Structure 1
């Protein structure tokens, strides 16, 4: 890494620089993202909004190392994801990145606790410690009582909360959430947003795709995407963020 790159990425958990993603060729070519720049530092909660097809989910998959940029750089804690081996990239995803998918992606043959603890066990954490961490994360999202149930024994909303617990377990520095409250009622959704806000306040970074302006109120910054391009960034007033954080704390008591 050059001295300039070190200065550019210093202190950033996530850094996208000139990132584009193109699907297809010729007449069928689609530009999902176009020259996107985004920096997210410790403690920041960023909401990404925009119409359907604007590139929101593509941004998350690139940030999480689940897809490769056609051009540009994606760095997580200073590591260029495009230059990592498959093994090294998998290790970064397990240790540093928590991802909340729209369709949950829970393993049917594993219980809720086993789904949440699996990434920790793959990283060499003992089964006992991994389960303890999983139960803590499940309690944060309000589903500890379902720890030993299988996904098909849970409602959609309960599965979503298990998926969020899996993204939060351990010392994840970057949480990427694609419509994390989509299957939840209003009160439970607010509780989950309060958990994400608290994680950021404790030093993690989060990027959340949402269609709901009310949910974006929890973020420090709102990034607007249109046709794969960042068209606007809005900084949330600190007093508004404080009120939402306080409301979330009150609800969790």
Structure 2
């Protein structure tokens, strides 16, 4: 296990299942998944299409409800929270990078990044300053006042990543965060994510690229909704095997 394995858990998934439909239409997206991610740890999740990777992230982020099992964020079982409490937890503690960016079309890049902070009571001035700094860190200072439809797909992706990393969020969930990026920019994004985890956050990243999974401390392999293997990311043989499974 990685050196950070003695750190306190930020995310715990306990016997987590998610089932869609009933009868002959029943689909088991996740089957009894157990996963603990600790402060300072970055975990990569890999597996074939349809293996449950994105479902795992949406449940971990409180965006969907498990059929059975528990999602625990910093000791809090999110099933016990009201909708208002869960929304507050997501704003304060969870940064989520969506595969489709999920930017608000009517807001500029800076406004998209600042909005969750403003909703959480941070002053507009401070939130916008944080947003500008986050965009600068992504080498996107030129898009501060641009709307999503005025940006390329790669720029939108980096804005979405900046939104997930801004503030003091303890858990960062990223669904294919490098999907719309070239190799050099993808490596730079992973370096930022790695830095955030090294500073004490916990990160879970879905990826199909072994070279990006190598930034993680640990790689979890899913197949048919179940965890079939876990390994240190330095195990190149396992990473290459996972690549061949795509």
Relative to the length of structure 1, the TM-score reads 0.89
The answer for the alignment partner of 1:21 in structure 2 is 18
Residue 139, structure 1, aligned to residue 136, structure 2: yes
Residue 47, structure 1, aligned to residue 44, structure 2: yes
Residue 174, structure 1, aligned to residue 175, structure 2: no
Structure 1 outlier segments of 4+, above 4 Å? none
Gaps of 5+ in 2: 1-6, 236-246
The answer for the alignment partner of 2:68 in structure 1 is 71
Equivalences, count: 229
How far has the Cα of 1:144 moved from its partner? 2.1
* Whole-Å separation in 2 of the counterparts to 1:209 and 1:154: 24
Q: Is the 8 A contact 2:95 2:171 kept in 1?
A: yes
* Whole-Å separation in 1 of the counterparts to 2:21 and 2:137: 42
The answer for the alignment partner of 2:182 in structure 1 is 185
Residue 121, structure 1, aligned to residue 118, structure 2: yes
Matches within 5 A, 1:151-162: 151-162=148-159
Relative to the length of structure 2, the TM-score reads 0.91
1:234 to 231, 236, 239: 231
Q: Is the 8 A contact 2:214 2:234 kept in 1?
A: no
Q: Is the 8 A contact 1:142 1:161 kept in 2?
A: no
How far has the Cα of 1:237 moved from its partner? 4.3
Q: Is the 8 A contact 2:94 2:173 kept in 1?
A: yes
Gaps of 5+ in 1: 1-9, 239-253
Q: Is the 8 A contact 2:17 2:33 kept in 1?
A: yes
Matched residue of 1:93: which SS?
Answer: helix
